[in-house]
Amino acid sequence: MTKTTDLRYQPGFSLITWFCIAFLYAPIAVLVWFSFNQNRSVTVWTEFSLDWYVKAWHNEGIQNAALVSLEVAVIAMILSTIMATMAALVTTRTAPYRGLNLSVAVINQPLMVPEVVTAVATLIFFAIIKQATGVTGIGYLIAAHTAFCIPFAYMPIRARLEDMDLSLEQAGADLYAPPFKVFRRITLPLMMPGILAGAMLAFIVSLDDVIITLFVAGPGETTLPIYILGQIRRGVTPEINAVSTVFLGISVILVTFIFLFGKGKNLGKQ
């Protein structure tokens, strides 16, 4: 190896990097490994089996929680992506105006406040509305998820719009296309990768949320993470490992997609 003559080389840095990766993945590896354990133990390995997956699949609590999670995440994803797309169009495609920075700050607000503070604030606010109107239901949970998903959907859409070449849209306008047609035939198709990445991020963020859901969700609105949290507090079983492994798998697939979209964008630029 010619490492010592490489002027970028710093001693020990590769070792720390390997340590970092091992540190990040070792606990997850243990979790996944013991989800396939035939034994009830999550520490002593006996035999390979898929029993815990079968058991989790037939568990009614898990089924219901998964359906609630899916319902909330899909609706929150659609709503937040639409709002984020509209907001991103304004903050990148109109002439700078007074209040532009303020609008961006408002959109990013959920990222700057600790989640537990947002959670109790939302709890209080919804309690007041519930008391005043008597309306209950899953709508509250969906509204809370939509609000904190907006900045996550907004980021990749804005990044995509900022990277896009304006000349195509200008050419469309020069050829007498009305503004809406320019948007539908040129801007929208070009910003699609950003919208898809934003939608997936919003979906993951909603699916993963624990804290806000814990405070806002009413009875019968247990999402999968809340169900898992409840089980962890009761004691460790391989069934949780099995559910968690499936959950991790879904996140990894979605992140891979987002990563590939991102890379495609960079490749297109070069």
Partner 1 sequence: MPAQSTTHTLLSASVVAEEKRQRHKRFSLLAPGILTIFCIGIMPLSIVLIYSVLEPGDYGGVSWVLSFDAYVQLLFEEDIFDETLTFTTSFLQIFLRSIGLGLFTTIACLLIGFPTAYFIATQPVKRRNVWLFLITIPFWTNLLIRTYAMLLILRDQGVVNLSLIKIGLIDKAIPILYTDFAVGLGLVYAYLPFMVLPIYASLEKLDFRLVEASYDLYATRFKVLKRIIIPLAKPGIAAGCILVLIPSLGAFITPAILGGGKSLMIGNLISLQFGQARNWPFGSAIALVLMVIVMLSLLTYLRSSARKGLTHD
Q: Of 103-162, which residues contact partner 1 (CB under 8 A)? A: 103, 106-107, 109-110, 112-125, 127-128, 143-144, 146-148, 150, 154
**Which residue's CB is nearer to partner 1, number 13 or number 184?**
13
Which residues, 24 to 43, sit near partner 1 by CB under 8 A? 24-28, 30-31, 34, 41-43
**Which residue's CB is nearer to partner 1, number 66 or number 207?**
207
Q: Which of 138, 173, 248, 261 binds partner 1 (CB under 8 A)?
A: 248
x/- mask, partner 1, residues 177-216, rule CB under 8 A, reads ------------------------x--x--xx-xx--xx-
**Which residue's CB is nearer to partner 1, number 38 or number 262?**
262
Location of structure tokens 């010619």:
2
Nearest-10 crossing angle of helices 238-269, 13-35: 130
In the structure, how many helices (H) and strands (E) does the chain have?
12, 0
Does residue 247 belong to the site contacting partner 1 (CB under 8 A)?
yes
Which residues, 80 to 99, sit near partner 1 by CB under 8 A? 82-84, 86-87, 89-91, 94-95, 97
Q: Where does this chain touch partner 1 (CB under 8 A) — which range of 55-63, 76-84, 169-177, 187-195?
A: 76-84
Nearest-10 crossing angle of helices 115-133, 139-163: 130
Does residue 14 belong to the site contacting partner 1 (CB under 8 A)?
yes
Residue 119 burial class via C-beta count within 10 angstroms: exposed 0-12, middle 13-18, buried 19 and up: buried
**Which residue's CB is nearer to partner 1, number 164 or number 241?**
241
**Which residue's CB is nearer to partner 1, number 76 or number 164?**
76
Does residue 45 belong to the site contacting partner 1 (CB under 8 A)?
no
Size of the site for partner 1 (CB under 8 A): 91
**Which residue's CB is nearer to partner 1, number 186 or number 201?**
201
String of DSSP letters for 147-209: HHHHHHHHHHHHHHHHHS-HHHHHHHHHTT--HHHHIIIIIHHHHHHHHHHHHHHHHHHHHH-
Beta strands per DSSP E along 141-241? none
How far is the C-alpha of 211 from the C-alpha of 10, rounded, in Å?
41
C-alpha angle 83-86-89 in degrees, rounded to nearest 5: 145
Q: How far is the CB of 28 from partner 1 (least distance, A)?
A: 5
For the chain, the C-alpha Rg in angstroms (whole number) is 23
How far is the C-alpha of 158 from the C-alpha of 211, rounded, in Å?
27
